[in-house]
């Protein structure tokens, strides 16, 4: 019996647009991440704590609102949206005539900038926690301080909403070392799943902001599976640039009775079915469906075996299944 390997082919599937592409200008540096998060913000909250003349700190007021303004970067969000609103909130307390407020101690202000989608939980993109000291005027009144240096900060974990995202794997490693020191993956460890129950992909800011530079400390590999789009299975690096898939490898061995086909390689989460043919025209799905790479606790890769007595030649190939990883 002669056994041949055919090239891998994609199985036909009905997939509807649109195509999702991870924007290359969204991750990589602090500025890119901040600008992306700023463009996603549509919900703002201002929470102010004052000091009373008896020395007690107490909550003064909270204001939340949605904004139709769409900044193109973080600088615009800070300077054109938040600073004017923050100045208005601070002026409100500066002009408050309540004698129990100790304006000489200033106020503490929490600012939250969030993504708020219908049917989803609000996601914190940017924030700031600041104590502002008022300016005391010669007539004893108080004024809003200079806010020209004000800036929000990135959250430690930032959300990216990807429509129909079903599965994700994030690998992070030290530059120069091919093995990751952290893997967040719903397939292998549901406890470290980078996808929240609300469909957002969560990426750690400290890794994102280092992976863009050749002198950075880390590298990142992001694997996404989103149903209902033309690119069902996609892989990106720490800059958000698409990277090629790892090739699937077929191997063969045989004994006196059977030919064995083994499968290895590939990228985690990609679904495959092993197919066979005797004429390279008509292909039949074998009994093996699998996701690559194989779970670490399996001793051997999935195997397809065929009695040598049934035919004198056989061709094998793998085809993608577009199945959600289990």
Separation CA 263–CA 278 (nearest Å): 19
Please report how many Cα atoms fall inside a 13 Å half-sphere around the Cα of residue 296, on the Cβ side. 3
Q: Which CATH class is domain 2-14+246-320?
A: mainly beta
Residue 5's pLDDT is what?
A: 44
- Show pLDDT as tens, one digit a residue, over the chain (326 residues): 444 444 444 333 333 444 556 766 788 888 888 998 898 888 899 999 999 999 999 999 999 988 877 889 999 999 999 999 999 999 999 999 999 999 999 999 999 998 877 666 677 889 999 999 999 999 999 999 999 999 999 988 888 877 788 888 999 999 888 889 998 987 777 778 888 777 788 888 888 888 777 677 899 999 988 877 667 888 888 888 888 888 888 888 888 888 888 887 888 888 888 888 888 889 988 777 888 876 655 556 667 777 777 666 778 888 888 788 76
Residue 8's pLDDT is what?
A: 43
> What is residue 228's three-state secondary structure?
coil
Task: Tell me if 314 sits within 8 A of 6, measured CB to CB.
Answer: no
CB atoms inside a 10 Å sphere around CB 230: 12
The DSSP 8-state label assigned to residue 90 in this structure reads: H
Listing DSSP states for 23-55 in one string gives -TTSSSSHHHHHHHHHHH--EEEEEEEEEBTTS
Domain ranges of the chain: 2-14+246-320, 30-158
């Amino acid at each position: 019996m002669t056994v041949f390997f055919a090239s891998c082919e994609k199985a036909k599937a009905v997939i509807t647009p649109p195509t999702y592409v991870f924007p290359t200008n969204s991750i990589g540096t602090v500025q890119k991440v901040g600008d992306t998060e700023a463009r996603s913000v549509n919900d703002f909250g201002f929470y102010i704590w004052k000091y009373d003349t008896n020395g007690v700190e107490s909550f003064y007021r909270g204001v939340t609102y949605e904004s139709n303004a769409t900044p193109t970067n973080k600088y615009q969000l800070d300077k054109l949206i938040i600073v004017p609103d923050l100045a208005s909130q601070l002026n409100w307390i500066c002009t408050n005539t309540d004698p129990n407020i100790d304006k000489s101690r200033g106020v503490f202000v929490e600012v939250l900038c969030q993504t708020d989608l219908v049917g989803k939980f609000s996601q914190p993109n940017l924030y700031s926690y600041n104590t502002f000291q008022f300016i005391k005027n010669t007539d004893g009144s108080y004024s809003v301080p200079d806010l020209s240096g004000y800036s929000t900060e990135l959250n430690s974990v930032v959300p990216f909403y990807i429509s129909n995202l079903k599965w994700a794997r994030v690998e992070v490693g030290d530059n120069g070392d091919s093995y990751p020191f952290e893997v967040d993956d719903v397939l292998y460890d549901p406890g470290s799943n980078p996808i929240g129950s609300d469909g957002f992909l969560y990426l750690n800011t400290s890794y994102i902001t280092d992976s863009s530079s050749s002198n950075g400390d880390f590298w990142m590999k992001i694997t996404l599976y989103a149903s209902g789009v033309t690119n069902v299975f996609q892989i990106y690096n720490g800059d958000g640039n698409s990277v090629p898939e790892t090739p699937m490898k077929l191997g063969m061995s045989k004994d006196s009775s059977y030919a064995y086909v083994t499968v290895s390689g590939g990228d985690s989460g990609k679904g495959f079915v092993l197919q066979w043919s005797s004429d390279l025209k008509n292909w039949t799905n074998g009994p093996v469906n699998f996701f690559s790479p194989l779970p670490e606790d399996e001793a051997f890769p999935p195997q397809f075996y065929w009695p040598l007595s049934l035919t004198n030649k056989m061709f094998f190939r793998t085809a993608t299944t577009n199945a959600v990883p289990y």
